Every structure is written in C-alpha cells, then in structure tokens.
Structure 1
C-alpha cells in the first residue's frame, strides 16, 4: 500500500497540494470583520481552486514592521503570487518586489509609480457604478436634492463624486447635488458619530437621498435616517441594505474577490501586465439591485421597477461602450 501511494503521488496530475504553486494573501492587519479584506481571502482561495494553486493567508501585525515581515515570509515560503490590499502596503511593496524577482506581487487599488516589473496593480472603474448611483438618487428623490458623504477627500473619491453628479444630471437635469461632505479625521472609514452629524447637516439642507460612501462610518448615516425626515441612502462596498432595512435603496459594490480571480487567471496564462482595470463589464463593480441575487438583498429600490429598468439600460450602455462615464 505504501508503494502504491508513492507511485500515485509521482504520477502527473496526482501530485499533492505541497507540489502546487503557492499563492499567498497578506492581510495588513490581524483577522477582523472587515468585509473587503475578507474578500481578499475569498478571492485568493477561489483563484487557487480554479488554477490549481496552493492558497494561504498571512495576517500582519498592524505596524509597518509587521507587514514587512509577512511580505518577507510570503517570499521565503516560495509564493509564486503574493496578493495585498490596502494603502499600508504602497510604500513597502516596491523594495520587497525588487529583491524577489521570481515572485509576482498584486496590489489592489494603490498603484505604485515606476514600480518593479513584477508588480501588478488592480484598479476599479468605480466611476461607472458611481454614475449609476447618481442616476438612481436623482430618479428617487422627492425633494430634488441629493448628496454624498464620503470618508476622505482623495483624487479617487473626487472622481467618483463627479461621476455621481454626472449620472444624477443625466437622469434629471434639474436635480440639485449638494457639495460632498467628508468624514476625514483620524478614522475616516470608521467614525459613525461624525458621519451621523454630517448626515443631519445634509438632511437639514433639504437632501433626501444620500450616497453613503464612507465604509465603516456608514452606520452613522443610516442611524440619522428616520421616518420623519424620509431620508434614504445608497450604501457602498458591500450590500448594506440588510444593515438598515427600509433605509438603504441600493449599494455601489466593489467585488475585490472577483477582481483577484480575474487577475490571477490572466497572470497564470502568462500576462506580465503592470495593471489590470476592471469595472461593470468584468463584474468587479456593480449595483446590488442589478446583481443575480438582488431578490435576496432587501434593497428598497427593488420596489421601484421603472427606476430599475432605467438603471439596467444605462448599465448595459456603459458595458457596451455606448455610454462613456469618464
């Protein structure tokens, strides 16, 4: 029996997992309930199944030294592909990559100028879904005033804000778009009280539909919405309709897991591209209400079929190239 097992292990296609190429996901912090970071693990695990690789996740201590150590550990473990998410890796990755030319490094969103040739950056055409969110907000608004509350005023967020405004005016030219309000501060992505205060300010200015684009701070936006002010929100990142039933119309979703699977597939087939850019066409960004499992989302917009039809038509036009968002 022992000899038979040895013979089987040596046959092509029957090698054990230890013989498969390794793909390692390095988290910027220890395991927590961050849904986007969890998408990183899911994407790497599913890509490994599809492309016959051995997947694992390394959790970093939330320090520069901790993240650098885990990047080095991934290289020492013989990773063929290392995947990272988070701006925390932007200043670390290039030097590590130059010392490990045999490894392909993939970083989501935060591209590096003049990066080493073995680094691939994944970017998302979030502006496509942002445009659709603006259309939706305008079409649903009863007051004729809509707005956006974001985490931090960066170039990317400004681009999404502009797309939101453009989509709104395309759907309803007379719509009034409030100046974006930003959470900022020490924890812009996790400051619900600050987001709640900004929401009350915006509601006081007559806005009745708010795109909550502030990640973990969004719960503050939802808290400020009451039957009395009749305010509604559009969530972001993942499906947040289930967090505040009746208050959230829809969501602008980012599917980092899908993007990772697509990127790994291209790399496994020989691509050495420095950048992959994914959007609606690739399923890397989307509106929850236009997804295959929309019926189970609990999103309030599902009750407004004429609006959904207009969003479907606009989404199809963007995917086909007939409608240019940027």
Structure 2
C-alpha cells in the first residue's frame, strides 16, 4: 500500500512538472533590424528575456533586416512553437495581421504599433511618448531660458511627432516666449542608422542659431551629439538610453521609452489573463521616463541632473502630468 502511495505521489509530482514545463512560455521577439547599437531594440530584447525568466520560460530573439525577413521571422517564430511572439516597431504594421491569423493558437504582442485589423490573438502596446518629451522640453527651457530650440526625427510619421512636437510643446509650456524652429528629419535610405546624415542636419540647425536639439532617430542620434560636441554651448536631448556619459557637457537629458518594461507588463498581464486588447503606458507606469529619474547626478552625468532647482521643477511637473493637473497634447490625437 505504501509503495502504491509513493508511486502515486511520484507520478503526481512528475505530472505536475510536465504540466509546468508545458505551461512555461516560449517567447520570441522579432526585431525589425539587427540589434547592433540600437539601444531601443536592445531594451526590447532584454525585456523579452526578463519576461520569460520571470515565468520560468525561454526567450529567443530573431533579428530581421527587411520586410521579407520580418514576415519570414514572424512565421518562423510561430512555427518554432513560440507561445508568445513579440514584434517591436511600426515596421511590422502591414505584416503581423496575416501571420497572426495563420497561427491562431499563438499570442502576438505588437509593441509600439497596432494594425487596423486586429485578430483576437493580437494585443497592442502603445507608449505615451509625448509625456516624456514634454517634460524634456520644459527641462531644456528652464535650463536655457534664452535659448532657441529645435527637434530632429528619423522620418516624418505621426509617432515621431510625439517626440518632436511634444518636446517643443514642453518648451513653450515652460517658456512661452522661447524661440523654436521647424522640425527637421534625417530621411534617406537609413533614417534610424545614419549618424553622418543626422550630423549634417544638426550642424545646419546649430549654424541657424539653434541652441538645443531633441533627436528621435535611433542610432542616427549619435551624429547629432557629435555635432553638438564640436560647437561650444550647443546641447542635445537624446533618446532611447542615457547618452550623457558619452558626451559630458553636451547632453541635457534623454527621453527613454522602455519597451523592456512594456513587454514585461504585457506578458505578465497576458499570462494572468488580464491583458486588454490595447494598452497605453506612460509616466504613471514608468514605461516612459527621463535619464535624470533613473539615477543620481553622478550616475547619469546629465546636465539636467546637476541643476537641483530645475530637477525639482521637472519632478513636480511629472507628478502634475500623472495626476492630470497638466494635460499634454497628443500629436497623434489618441
């Protein structure tokens, strides 16, 4: 009798282990381009790995290079047995619906975009980028009350205007009489990975008496920072990661959209059965932020972190936005 009981317990425990193994998520993130030096894509990969580890699962990263490989990698992820496929970036907008329909038992999470047609197994994660950009604009204007401000985006699409227009709106909030310039774009064949072209655009703006530029152009942003370093008094607000240590004295702050936190949030909600079809994450959820909020002045090395009075005003404004006391206009109208 005792042997039967021990055997039954062993089978029960073994069965539970198998069930747990089967339930452990297999998560694949498909990036639109190689991770390379793209901090945003690297954050997405880190978030995918973190989400999988938190639930005892596994993670893989597929690095695409063009529309053909993006669709192929989405399909390959589903065929490979992924329970969750994360696609990061608007480049998948015209691809993900068809693939999601073909693999209805796989859950797809679209990060930073959402197609017009959304199958039942496709979930969309948006970010309120305009909130952090507005904060950065106010910060820059408070640091340089007599400055002239501009912004450079990778391409002229609504999402990028959340950065560029949000920044200039923040400048005007803090300093209504501040001078601003028309938003410029990197453009070209590789707008998010062409620092040389971005440097040319920035240099022209600096020569036009612009003092501070926000850049939202992926890996091209390094070219804008390089241009600022060569011109005394010129400063930049970077994006995606803390650029301040790479250019001491030239970077006021950085707007950091955190796809890693968005992916972890979405996977947690999906696996617990509480993920809505579309979710929006912003300052309140910590999914968008500034580098100055992520460490001390010595750690971040940002100009904004070193001015205690300005930093206090920026923190107060952040709370006012979270509390709804200050309304930030969404250039996308959402």
Question: Is the pair's TM-score, using the shorter chain for normalization, greater than 0.5?
Answer: yes
Which residues in structure 2 correspond to 1:36-55 (within 5 Å)?
A: 36-50=40-54, 52-55=55-58
- How much has 1:228 moved relative to structure 2? 5.1
- How much has 1:28 moved relative to structure 2? 3.1
Pick closer, same or farther for the CA change 1:65–1:194 going to 2, 3 Å: closer
Which residues in structure 2 correspond to 1:1-16 (within 5 Å)?
A: 10=14, 12=16
Instruction: Choose from 314, 318, 329 the match for 1:315.
Output: 318
Instruction: Choose from 249, 258, 273 the match for 2:276.
Output: 273
The equivalent of 1:27 in structure 2 is 31
The equivalent of 1:175 in structure 2 is 178
* Contact 1:196-1:221 at 8 Å conserved across structures: yes
Deviations 1:52-107 (A, max 9, x none): 24222142452434333332232223322111112332222111111211111001
Pick closer, same or farther for the CA change 1:58–1:287 going to 2, 3 Å: closer
Instruction: Choose from 247, 250, 270 the match for 1:247.
Output: 250
The equivalent of 2:3 in structure 1 is none
The equivalent of 1:202 in structure 2 is 205
Deviations 1:285-317 (A, max 9, x none): 101102246541111222211110110000011
- How much has 1:221 moved relative to structure 2? 1.3
Distance 1:47 1:321 in 2: 30
Distance 2:297 2:81 in 1: 41
2:160 is paired with a residue whose SS is helix
Q: Return 5+ residue gaps in structure 1 as ranges.
A: none
Instruction: Choose from 120, 124, 127 the match for 1:117.
Output: 120
Distance 1:88 1:98 in 2: 18
* Contact 2:28-2:62 at 8 Å conserved across structures: no
Q: Return 5+ residue gaps in structure 2 as ranges.
A: 1-6, 330-334
Distance 2:17 2:322 in 1: 39
* Contact 2:138-2:174 at 8 Å conserved across structures: yes
CA RMSD of aligned residues (A): 2.4
The structure richer in helix per residue is: 2
The equivalent of 2:79 in structure 1 is 76
Query: How many residue pairs are counted as aligned between the two chains?
Result: 323
My pick for the range that moved more, 104-113 or 185-194, is 185-194
Distance 1:276 1:168 in 2: 28
1:325 aligns with 2:328: yes
Distance 2:21 2:44 in 1: 21
Instruction: Choose from 297, 300, 318 the match for 2:300.
Output: 297
Instruction: Choose from 211, 214, 219 the match for 2:217.
Output: 214
* Contact 2:110-2:123 at 8 Å conserved across structures: yes
* Contact 1:288-1:294 at 8 Å conserved across structures: no
